């Protein structure tokens, strides 16, 4: 059994205890991660703070070159990291699984490496010159979830490095191993202390809470649930930290009556079931016009019933297990409740271990638990509507506002509907297709700030205006 070490100040840090990490497909223990204390977190933050002075003084070209070197190093270890992701997260190697995640991670790292934020000249005339400069914040604390352990780590770390910040990252206790290995790989080409990783089982020591309150961490970037995001925000208030919070989504899709059920079935399925539905910006609710409701249901069932579900190490698998027991129990509870109110079109019966088949349920409405709660699993409720204004109202009737989609053969009509949706991203005839050159973030309770592109990069900086 491999015991993984934390990486602090550029080298392995062994601690007094560790905790097991399990393969959700088999239940077997696959490794052990360090169970670190608040004192050991302090050591990591001190290392990042000490490294900040020299790292932040690097030229823009030097920072860009260093980020490019990190990208190349990650790319060289993509296959190794993909297998580790599958072992601890459960997603398949194949299809839209761990190899796809690593491809996205490398693409995001490369794109972010190429971004730049030169000074802006706001005024230059006989009254004087005014310049706007972007300055790094200091130590950035990153807290990542278990659904995309490497790709989301890249989303957090790379813009921090590119803008001259240093990092302490804490992954989910369900999926710490790929992050531990990722940071070890990064440290092959980075100065000591620039990126550090801490892990814990969250049982006795709340490392995330300690990071949010830590006086030497200037910013927290967090991806996870709304409830935890609120706690992060509360504990960060006393030290006036900068925050980027990408929180839960209960994304709605609206299918207009002119859509072709056969043509959109594949896009609808993967919009909802990417990563087994364990995706913040996955489609969690689908509103379908009465005139094509049954045809859309039939097309979705026909497509979904042929998707292989199994151990992610099996190249034939397209979907794997739910990652952990807590999430499995939530999905099971919501499906059990839905069975008494709607009609299960496909799936609905838990499998062995943490496996749950792709499940489609019709006959539900707003107010039912599966519609109102973010299921974060392989289940999609399909809600019938007859009035478009009512469908838009129902789609917006949520405290969340991460993403949404409109499905139609008339793009102009779809765009008009999209403009009325209360969410940070809207897709037309697809769902959840984020990309590194487009800012991504939520409205309402789905978060604060944005990630990706120049707008996301700016969130890792303070503005300083120089008057000459």
Residues 6+ apart with CB under 8 A from 367: none
H-helix or E-strand spanning residue 123: strand 120-125
The DSSP secondary-structure symbol of 237 reads: G
Cα–Cα distance measured from residue 286 to residue 299, given in angstroms and rounded to the nearest whole number: 14
CA distances from 301 to 283, 295, 298 (A): 16, 10, 5
Q: Give the orientation angle of helix 149-162 with respect to helix 60-76, to 10 degrees.
A: 160
Question: What residues contact 112, with CB distance under 8 A and at least 6 apart?
Answer: 67, 158, 159, 162, 436, 457
Pinpoint the alpha helices (H) of 114-219. 149-162, 177-186, 207-213
Task: Report yes or no: 208 and 176 within 8 Å, Cβ to Cβ.
Answer: no
Tell me the two tokens of residue 299.
């097309």
131 is catalytic: no
The DSSP call for residue 409 is: S
For residue 272 the two structure tokens come to 């909802």
Q: Is residue 455 annotated as part of the catalytic site, yes or no?
A: no
Which among 246, 374, 451, 459 is annotated as catalytic?
A: 246
Q: Which of 67, 280, 297, 423 is catalytic?
A: 280
Tokens representing 443 are 């409205």
Alpha-carbon distance 160 to 221, whole Å?
10
Would you name the residues annotated as active-site residues?
246, 280
């Amino acid at each position: 059994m491999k015991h993984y070490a934390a990486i602090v100040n550029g080298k392995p840090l062994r601690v007094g205890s560790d905790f097991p990490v399990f393969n959700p497909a088999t239940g077997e223990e696959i490794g052990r991660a360090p169970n670190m204390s608040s004192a050991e977190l302090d050591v990591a933050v001190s290392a990042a703070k000490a490294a900040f002075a020299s790292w932040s003084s690097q030229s823009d070209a030097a920072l860009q070159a260093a980020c490019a070197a990190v990208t190349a190093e990650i790319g060289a270890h993509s296959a190794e990291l993909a297998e580790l992701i599958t072992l601890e997260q459960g997603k398949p190697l194949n299809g839209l699984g761990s190899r796809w995640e690593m491809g996205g991670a490398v693409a995001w790292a490369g794109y972010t490496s190429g971004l730049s934020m030169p000074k802006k000249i706001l005024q230059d005339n006989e009254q004087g010159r005014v310049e706007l400069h972007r300055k790094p914040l200091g130590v950035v604390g990153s807290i990542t979830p278990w659904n995309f352990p490497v790709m989301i780590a890249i989303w957090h770390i790379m813009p921090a490095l590119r803008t001259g910040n240093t990092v302490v990252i804490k992954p989910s206790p369900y999926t710490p191993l790929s992050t531990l290995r990722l940071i070890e790989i990064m440290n092959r080409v980075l100065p000591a202390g620039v990126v550090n990783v801490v892990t814990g089982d969250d049982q006795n020591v709340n490392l995330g809470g300690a990071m949010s309150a830590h006086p030497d961490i200037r910013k927290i970037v967090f991806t996870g649930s709304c409830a935890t995001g609120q706690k992060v925000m509360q504990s960060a208030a006393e030290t006036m930290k900068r925050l980027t919070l990408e929180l839960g989504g209960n994304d709605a899709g609206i299918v207009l009556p002119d859509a072709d059920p056969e043509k959109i079935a594949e896009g609808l399925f993967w919009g909802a079931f990417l990563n087994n539905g364990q995706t913040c910006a996955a489609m969690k609710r689908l509103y379908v016009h009465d005139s094509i409701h049954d045809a859309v249901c039939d097309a979705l069932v026909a497509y979904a019933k042929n998707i292989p579900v199994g151990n992610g190490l099996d190249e034939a698998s397209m979907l794997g297990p739910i990652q952990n027991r807590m999430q499995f129990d939530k999905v099971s509870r919501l499906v059990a409740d839905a069975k008494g109110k709607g009609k299960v079109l496909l799936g609905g019966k838990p499998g062995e271990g943490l496996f749950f088949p792709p499940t489609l349920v019709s006959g539900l409405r707003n107010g039912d638990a599966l519609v109102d709660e973010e299921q974060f699993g392989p289940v999609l409720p399909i809600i019938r509507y007859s009035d478009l204004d009512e469908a838009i109202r129902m789609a917006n009737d949520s405290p969340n506002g991460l993403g949404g989609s409109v499905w139609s053969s008339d793009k102009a009509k779809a765009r008009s509907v999209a403009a009325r949706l209360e969410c940070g991203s809207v897709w037309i005839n697809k769902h959840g297709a984020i990309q590194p050159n487009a800012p991504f973030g939520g409205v309402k309770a789905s978060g604060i700030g944005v990630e990706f592109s120049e707008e996301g990069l700016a969130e890792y900086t303070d503005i300083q205006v120089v008057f000459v």
